[in-house]
Amino acid sequence: MQLYNKLSSQENSEIIDKSNQTRFVVSFYKYHLIKNPIIFRNFIFIILNNLDILGRVYVSREGINAQISVPKENYNKFKIELEDISFLQGIRLNLAREHFNKSFLKLKIKIRKKIVSDGLKENQIKLNIKGTYISAKEMNNHIKNKNSVILDVRNHYESEIGHFKNAITPNVDTFRESLPLILNKMKNNKNKNIVMYCTGGIRCEKASAMMKSKGFKNIFHLEGGIIEYAKQVKDQNLENLFLGSNFVFDERRAEKISNHIISNCHQCDKPFEKHTNCANVSCNLLFIQCDSCKSKYNNCCSNKCMDINLLPLNEQKKK
């Protein structure tokens, strides 16, 4: 029985090209006690693999977190399969605003200690005691309310290309770094409404549970995150109070939410909104690079990295 992806990214890319199929970019998560993550991991792999689904899925004792690419013709079959899993019945699926057939080129399902690394001890917080979900319309009301604090619980490279108006955006590289920083920043705001948001909801759901455990009362978080906010804004013709683009963890890198460009190329300072990884594999820095600098620096973050990247692979390894 096949339980691992046996094709390379290149082979899957060629298959997608030949099939000329349309693929949906979908994300979902669920906090739920999974007693045997290994068995569940293998079970979910078989389901997704049989439907030609690619992507990245994390499974742990605390639940599942998935970002995947689903062939359009298999989307309804995929939803039916999820409905047959008791704890995933009725789960919200976040459909991307912009679909890209090669968002993912492999199916990787990994077992992790946690589906979101938080640095907290086991059972330190109770995920069933969390903040109140709010809609896009309610989010807009909070943004305009002087008694509400809007808190971005994503990393700095995500918020630098897009965030809500008046949001506090912690300068952190990881979610586990943000939790103690959030508590410190919010200690003088216990009487205010603290409204959190993230990409799809998974991080602010955990952060809101942590704040509840620390005695904060008026905790809210945007249901479905920025992805669902953008959908509701469009469907309900609401005012869009998100500035810029939403950072996404696939080959697209960014999904445009508004026409604002609030970030700049890190090399020439030209307004730009998409990140790239430095082509020097020993560097691999994630940074914003415009198309002209991408060409000038050969997809590298500096002249030094560009020089290294031009060397034969064995010379790169030596350096």
Task: Judge whether 293 counts as a catalytic residue.
Answer: no
Q: Mapped to the 3 state alphabet, what secondary structure does the chain carry?
A: CCCCCCCCHHHHHHHHHHHCCCEEEEEEEEECCCCCHHHHHHHHHHHHHHCCCEEEEEEECCEEEEEEEEEHHHHHHHHHHHHCCHHHCCCCCEECCCCCCCCCCCEEEEECCCCCCCCCCCCCCCCCCCCEEECHHHHHHHHCCCCEEEEECCCHHHHCCEEECCCECCCCCCHHHHHHHHHHHHCCCCCCEEEEECCCCHHHHHHHHHHHHCCCCCEEEECCHHHHHHHHHHHHCCCCCEEEEEECCCCCCEEECCCCCCCECCCCCCECCCEEECCCCCCCCEEECCHHHHHHCCCCCCHHHHHHHCCCHHHHHHC
Catalytic residue chosen out of the listed positions 198, 204, 293, 305? 198
Residues classed as catalytic: 198
